[in-house]
């Protein structure tokens, strides 16, 4: 596996506090372009916080203090004026399925419409492509007018995924995307992700250590708000440099 | 440090606590169930009883000598004429509709706007202050509103617009709007608050602006609650009596401008029932007006119900 040297996201000394709780204690990390970058670690280790910083959804959490830099293509996201445009470039899938109270079609067309796409046939194409990529098309193609909230949990999760793919983001942040999806469908989506990574850098936060192992090109291990170890997935899993990493990937911890 | 309340109890108490549900379950549960059932059915009982009472008082006139065509199409309201009493409520009906519609035109945007502000934009102390103040506004008795309309708003209208009288359609609508706003705000705010934060986050994370989130996500998600808010506001506007009696000028005529005095159905009942001879024609006609009000509210509620169901099922198909 050839790792590209072209950095897509550079995180420099990122510190995040929620009130008195320190969620990230100075993390520096480089995520190359065109890879799947896995982030693993026990609960409350700062994985999700890191993800939320990349498209600044961290700002929804009241009372958060952030310092440090998150550079996307060399530009600090915290200096970005047009945060809406940033969030269209950096897609995000949250762990709990959220079908917006709109039709399936409008759920997926939501972001493209906000981005100013009005042409019906273009929207049709985007909706079909995104739903196909999220492995949902066959199940909903005959009922695109159904209210998104009426799909099953797993379907809503894939709808969320389709929605985030609708604008072909250059970075896709997945936070536990497969938590509500059955294993067979998960495998199919993982295949799609492997294809997608050639034009979309994917940051994958997962509690399933094996998912990181089979999917990620690089893996970072977080524990207690710190980055413990990062490297290509193979060496992190087979030759971890840190004792903590070894215990975690072996399943002794967390 | 306070101890666990359960652990602070002595043993006999604990045993008694545990014993009560077990011992009496056979009796308590059905009893509570019946009590609750009665509470639920009582609503229907009360509505039916009120309707029956009003109908009984109105019936001799309604099915007797009242000319229904004249009743609904004439603007001639002369219930106390010594020569010939005439009962035409067209002007009163038009007055009620005008005042209510105009009040809603003011109150709905204002109320929903305030609800959105409180729920989505204000925080901490500002939010609390606003909520308390608005609840206070809802608690002001309607006679006080009438007083404000008569003493403050009326003269102000005359000074600003040069209208001959200050108590008129516009005055009544503004006062009704101000009375409806608190209801719309608090019910509407509850509806918006009930929308899960996950919706907001998901939409914002896709690059939507806050305004787009409000219009495209929150409004559809909260539509039933928001409609209920508007309905309660309309209900208040149509049913309000005391304040409109003082604010509208109480003149039986079809208004030609915003600043013409009008009279409403409710105000007519309130002002004339006391003088009407019990059991007389005038008395009974006032009860027929009560039935008309009943019908109007019923139609409003029914239409709203259909709208809510319609909006919901359109996308479900």
Question: Could you read off the pLDDT of A191-244 as tens digits, one per residue?
Answer: 889 988 988 999 999 988 889 999 999 999 999 899 999 999 999 999 989 988
- Predicted confidence at residue A188, as pLDDT, reads 85
The answer, yes or no, to whether residue B26 has pLDDT greater than 80, is: no
Q: What are the structural domain ranges in chain B? A: 8-65, 86-316
- Predicted confidence at residue B6, as pLDDT, reads 45
- The Cβ of residue B183 has, within 10 Å, a number of other Cβ atoms equal to 23
The average pLDDT across A122-132 equals 94
Whole-Å CA distances, B233 to A32, A73, B230, B290: 57, 53, 5, 20
Cβ–Cβ under 8 Å, residues A71 and A29: no
The average pLDDT across B194-216 equals 87
CB distance from B207 to chain A under 8 Å?
Answer: yes
- Residue of chain A whose Cα is closest to the Cα of B198: A98
- Residue of chain A whose Cα is closest to the Cα of B199: A100
- Predicted confidence at residue B58, as pLDDT, reads 93
Confidence of residue A116 (pLDDT cuts 50, 70, 90): confident
First to last CA, chain B: 57
The predicted model scores a pTM of 0.76
CB distance from B310 to chain A under 8 Å?
Answer: no
- Predicted confidence at residue A20, as pLDDT, reads 87
- For the segment(s) B86-316, the CATH number from 3.20.20.30, 3.40.50.300, 1.10.10.60, 1.10.3720.10 is 1.10.3720.10
Distance to chain B for A17, nearest Cα, Å: 20
Q: What is the per-residue burial (b if ≥16 Cβ within 10 Å, else e) of A189-227?
A: bbeebeebbeebbbbbbbbbbebbbebbbbbbbbbebbb
- Predicted confidence at residue B17, as pLDDT, reads 55
The average pLDDT across B101-118 equals 95
Distance to chain A for B205, nearest Cα, Å: 6
| Whole-angstrom distance, CA of residue A86 vs CA of residue A169 | 10
- Predicted confidence at residue A218, as pLDDT, reads 94
Which stretch of A140-144, B3-7, B69-73 has the lowest confidence by average pLDDT? B3-7
Cβ–Cβ under 8 Å, residues A40 and A248: yes
Q: What is the ipTM of this complex?
A: 0.76
Which tokens hold the place of B85?
A: 């009493």
The answer, yes or no, to whether residue B158 has pLDDT greater than 50, is: yes
| Whole-angstrom distance, CA of residue B210 vs CA of residue A14 | 27
Confidence of residue B3 (pLDDT cuts 50, 70, 90): very low
Confidence of residue B210 (pLDDT cuts 50, 70, 90): confident
Q: What is the DSSP string of chain A?
A: ------EEEEEEEEEEEETTEEEEEEEEEEEETTSEEEEE-STTSSHHHHHHHHTTGGGGSTTEEEEEEEEETTEEGGG-S-HHHHHHHEEEE-SS----SSBHHHHHHHHHHHTT---HHHHHHHHHHHHHHTT-HHHHTT-TTSBGGGS-HHHHHHHHHHHHHTT--SEEEEESTTTTS-HHHHHHHHHHHHHHTTTSEEEEE-S-HHHHHHH-SEEEEEETTEEEEEEEHHHHHHS-SSHHHHHHHHTS--
| Whole-angstrom distance, CA of residue B81 vs CA of residue A14 | 87
The answer, yes or no, to whether residue B167 has pLDDT greater than 50, is: yes
Cβ–Cβ under 8 Å, residues A9 and A54: yes
Distance to chain B for A25, nearest Cα, Å: 24
Indicate yes or no: CB of B204 within 8 angstroms of CB of A150: no
The answer, yes or no, to whether residue A25 has pLDDT greater than 80, is: yes
CB distance from B201 to chain A under 8 Å?
Answer: yes
Cβ–Cβ under 8 Å, residues A77 and B221: no
List of chain B residues whose C-beta atoms are within 8 Å of the C-beta of residue A60: 200-201, 204
- Predicted confidence at residue B4, as pLDDT, reads 46
- The Cβ of residue B79 has, within 10 Å, a number of other Cβ atoms equal to 17
CB distance from A19 to chain B under 8 Å?
Answer: no
Segment B118-127, tens digit of pLDDT: 999 988 899 9
- Predicted confidence at residue B21, as pLDDT, reads 53
Whole-Å CA distances, B236 to A20, B131, B230: 48, 20, 10
Confidence of residue B14 (pLDDT cuts 50, 70, 90): low
Segment A191-201, tens digit of pLDDT: 889 988 988 99
The answer, yes or no, to whether residue A249 has pLDDT greater than 90, is: no
When the pLDDT of each residue in chain B is averaged and rounded to a whole number, the result is: 87
| Whole-angstrom distance, CA of residue B95 vs CA of residue B120 | 37
- Residue of chain A whose Cα is closest to the Cα of B219: A101
CB distance from A101 to chain B under 8 Å?
Answer: yes
Indicate yes or no: CB of A84 within 8 angstroms of CB of B220: no
Confidence of residue B315 (pLDDT cuts 50, 70, 90): very low
Indicate yes or no: CB of B316 within 8 angstroms of CB of A146: yes
- The Cβ of residue B254 has, within 10 Å, a number of other Cβ atoms equal to 14
Segment B64-91, tens digit of pLDDT: 888 899 999 999 999 988 888 899 999 9
Indicate yes or no: CB of B202 within 8 angstroms of CB of A94: yes
């Amino acid at each position: 596996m050839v790792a590209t040297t072209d950095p897509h996201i550079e995180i420099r000394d990122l510190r995040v506090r929620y009130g008195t709780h320190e969620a990230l204690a100075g993390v520096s990390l480089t995520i190359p372009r065109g890879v799947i970058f896995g982030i693993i670690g026990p609960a409350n280790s700062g994985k999700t916080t890191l993800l939320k910083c990349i498209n600044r959804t961290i700002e929804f959490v009241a009372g958060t203090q952030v310092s440090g830099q998150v550079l996307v293509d060399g530009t600090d996201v915290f200096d970005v004026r047009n945060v809406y445009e940033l969030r269209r470039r950096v897609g995000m899938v949250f762990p709990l399925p959220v079908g917006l109270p709109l039709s399936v079609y409008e759920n997926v067309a939501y972001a493209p419409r906000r981005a100013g796409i009005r042409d019906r046939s273009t929207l049709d194409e985007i909706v079909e492509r995104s739903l196909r990529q999220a492995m949902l098309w066959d199940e909903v193609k005959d009922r695109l007018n159904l209210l998104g909230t009426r799909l099953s949990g797993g379907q809503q999760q894939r709808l969320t995924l389709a929605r985030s793919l609708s604008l072909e983001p250059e970075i896709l942040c997945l936070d536990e995307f497969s938590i509500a999806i059955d294993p067979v469908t998960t495998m199919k989506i993982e295949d799609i992700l492997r294809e997608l990574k050639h034009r979309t850098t994917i940051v994958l936060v997962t509690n399933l250590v094996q998912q990181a192992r089979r999917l990620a090109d690089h893996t970072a291990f977080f524990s207690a708000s710190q980055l413990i170890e990062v490297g290509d997935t193979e060496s992190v899993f087979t030759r971890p440099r840190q004792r903590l990493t070894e215990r975690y990937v072996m399943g002794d911890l967390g | 440090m306070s101890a666990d309340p359960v652990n602070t109890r002595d043993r006999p108490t604990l045993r008694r606590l545990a014993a009560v549900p077990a011992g009496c379950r056979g009796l308590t549960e059905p009893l509570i169930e019946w009590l609750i059932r009665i509470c639920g059915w009582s609503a229907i009982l009360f509505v039916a009883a009120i309707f029956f009472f009003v109908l009984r008082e109105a019936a001799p006139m309604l099915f007797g000598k009242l000319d229904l065509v004249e009743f609904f199409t004439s603007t001639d309201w002369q219930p106390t004429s010594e020569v010939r009493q005439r009962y035409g409520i067209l002007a009163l009906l038009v007055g009620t509709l005008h005042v209510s519609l105009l009040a809603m035109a003011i109150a709905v945007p204002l109320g929903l706007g305030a609800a959105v502000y409180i729920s989505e934009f204000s925080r901490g102390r500002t939010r609390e202050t606003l909520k308390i103040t608005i609840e206070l506004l809802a608690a002001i008795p309607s006679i006080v509103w009438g007083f404000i309309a008569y003493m403050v708003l009326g003269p102000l209208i005359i000074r600003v617009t040069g209208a001959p009288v200050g108590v008129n359609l516009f005055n009544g609508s503004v006062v009704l709007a101000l009375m409806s706003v608190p209801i719309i705000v608090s019910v509407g705010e509850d509806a918006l608050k009930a929308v899960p934060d996950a919706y907001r986050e998901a939409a914002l994370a896709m690059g939507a602006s806050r305004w787009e989130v409000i219009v495209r996500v929150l409004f559809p998600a909260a539509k039933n609650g928001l409609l209920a808010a508007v309905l309660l506001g309309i209900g208040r506007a149509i049913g309000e009596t005391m304040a409109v009696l003082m604010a509208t000028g109480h003149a039986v005529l079809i208004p030609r401008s915003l600043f013409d005095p009008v009279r409403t159905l409710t105000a007519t009942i309130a002002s004339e029932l006391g003088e009407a001879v019990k059991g007389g024609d005038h008395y009974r006609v006032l009860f027929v007006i009560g039935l008309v009000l009943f019908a109007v509210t019923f139609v409003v509620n029914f239409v709203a119900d259909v709208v809510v169901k319609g909006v919901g099922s359109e996308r479900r198909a």
